[in-house]
Chain A
Amino acid sequence: MGLINKESVKKRMGSRIAANGLAKFLFILATGFSLLVLGVLIYRILSQGLPYLSFDFITNFASRMPERAGIWAALLGTIWIMAVTAPVSFILGVGTAIYLEEYAKKNAFTKFVQVNISNLAGVPSIVFGLLGLTIFVRLAGLGSSVLAGGLTMSLLILPVIVVASQEAIRTVPREIREASFGMGATKWQTIRRIVFPAALPGILTGTILALSRAVGETAPLLVLGALAYVAFVPENLLSQFTVLPIQLYNWTSRPQEDFHMLAASGIIILLIILLIMNSIAVLIRNKFHKRF
């Protein structure tokens, strides 16, 4: 038995090492491809949209003439929708999460609620549009109003908020709950004064991320019958409305090149709004997040 034959080892290893190198290169290429796409996407939108971007673009109403068109009605429509969606989805979502984490017994009903929520998260958004069209627009007689749109959006993002809030509540350790009970606090006092404040940063982060998804959502509101061409600002909860993505869809689906430029400008505004919302979410997570 001689020593290890380095020659034959090298011969056998060579192709395997080469395969490893090639695979690594391909894996990096695939990852790079995703990053490249994001780069191209942002470059294209900036180069097309920046020339039209101005203060007037933000404060003007939509117009048939591209040089006078703006996004004012759409921007305010989005804000109105969010003014309905944010409180409704927050209260329902956090309430559901507290129930599931703090009060629910481990039984078939609780499991059913949990499975139901994870399945709701997988329902296509356009199906929520059909739900809103039937229940809110027709049955409740709200019409294609801000209220109908906001409620539909609340149901759409509800699963996301519930899951995020549950995770946040779960990170609050048992010991501080028990300490609170030991001091004579009741269950509700413990939840209100100990658990909820400790979980709040996580809950807020999840809620803001869910809302930012709602800001970019187009399909359900289109199905609800939100208007594509609006030259007025919503005045109350029963006003008709348009939102930013629908305005962008309207411009994108026109054949003229000028409207595509306008759409690109609008996309810049939309992306800036989303960027701000996401930054706030990350800031809250980093700044107020307590590790127990």
Chain B
Amino acid sequence: MSRDKSNQKSIRSMIQEKKSSRSQSAVMEKVVPKIFLICAIISIFTTLGIVFTLLTETFTFFSRVSIVEFITNTRWFPFTSDENADYGILALVMGTLTVTAIAMVVAIPVGLAAAIYLSEYASAKTRKVIKPILEVLAGVPTIVYGFFALTFVTPLLDKIIPGGISIFNALSPGIVVGIMIIPMIASLSEDAMNAVPNSMREGAMALGATRFEVAIKVVLPAALSGVIASFVLGISRAIGETMIVTIAGGSRPTADINVTESIQTMTAYIVQVSQGDTGFGTTIYYSIYAVGMTLFLFTLIMNLLAQFISRKFREEY
């Protein structure tokens, strides 16, 4: 009798325990997704934060400097008394575009050629050696590339180019930014070419095409959307690149471009201001947000363009 009673009790308590642990885990089941949702929402807040920050501070800037002057003036000369200051973004944009153009002249042919070699010519063994090395090249911090540009590429160019080159110039950082982007273009383009099915290659070869003809006339056109998208992403990276151009490009904003002379890019200007002792609330302080906004718009358009190209023109096999 007494044994039964104790048994009954313990079963009741067991049921109670089970119930409470169930309700506990039921609570967990409800709370946990909410916590993860908050994590996901933070990434949206980051974007909102960027847009909000840039917009509000840029508006403050445009209440002091007219937006017309900002877009049409070709001189950027802020470090002077407020009446004499020039805020013409064109000077900085030209600097950025010059470096980007030089970088692309280096990165597109070399990157594409490396991609074609890796995807169409190289044996699996060679690929296994070369791809990690390219990954290392992609992982080198930009500060190291900047150092390389200033202490190696610039002196080298100075020797090669007749008439020499000034110590800060557009050519050297342009070339080095290009080198930095090669692995990115190579690996994205190679991915695109790898996605082309082998049956197409074999079909072309059966008709007597050489490997080169297969690569240029069959694989490249088939992978074109991915390849072009990689170029556009490369351009976006070059526009946003900061340390290489800050170290080796100099700080002389100018709209008329001479690649052997000093220039200034949008990114380099932002660094220059944050390195100086510009006080909070000055026009110069707000100008870095206007420049940052321009930079953000440029890269955003490029990234959206890359997504559009790879979605719209993708050929499915």
Contacts and interface: CB of A to CB of B under 8 A. Distances in A.
Interface stretch (A26-34, A175-183, A284-292): A26-34
A217 interface: yes
Nearest to A41: B148
Contacts of A45: 144, 147-148
B242 A188 contact: no
Nearest to B233: A122
Nearest to B134: A34
B142 A218 contact: yes
B299 A130 contact: no
Contact of A222 (B54, B137, B179, B271): B271
B161 interface: no
Contacts of B49: 131, 135
B185 to A, nearest CB: 11
Nearest to B109: A30
Contacts of A213: 139
Interface residues of B, number: 83
Contact of A124 (B147, B152, B240): B240
A102 B32 CA distance: 11
Contact-residue bracket for chain A: 35 or more
Contact of B270 (A96, A131, A187, A223): A223
Given A96-B42, A131-B50, A274-B139, A31 B117 contact: yes
B11 interface: no
A126 B139 contact: no
Contacts of A249: 143, 146, 243, 246-247
Nearest to A191: B32
B99 interface: no
- Overall SS of chain B's interface: helix
Contacts of A60: none
A218 B243 CA distance: 7
A123 interface: yes
Contacts of B275: 222, 228
B36 A267 contact: no
Contacts of B182: 34
Contacts of A31: 113-114, 117-118, 130
Nearest to B148: A41
Interface string A124-152: 11111111011100100000000000000
A186 B32 CA distance: 12
Contacts of B151: 44, 48, 252, 260, 264
Given A158-B43, A218-B243, 17 more contacts: A27-B117, A34-B137, A34-B183, A37-B137, A95-B35, A104-B40, A120-B46, A122-B236, A124-B295, A126-B240, A129-B270, A130-B292, A188-B25, A245-B243, A249-B247, A264-B151, A278-B139
Interface of A: 16-17, 19-20, 23-24, 26-31, 33-35, 37-38, 40-41, 44-45, 48, 91-93, 95-96, 98-100, 102-104, 112-113, 116-120, 122-131, 133-135, 138, 155, 158-159, 162, 186-189, 191, 212-213, 215-219, 222-225, 228, 245, 248-249, 252-253, 260, 263-264, 267, 270-271, 274, 278
24 contacts: A16-B212, A19-B212, A27-B116, A35-B130, A41-B148, A99-B40, A112-B44, A113-B43, A113-B44, A119-B304, A126-B271, A129-B270, A130-B53, A130-B54, A131-B49, A134-B57, A158-B42, A187-B29, A224-B274, A249-B246, A252-B146, A260-B151, A264-B147, A267-B147
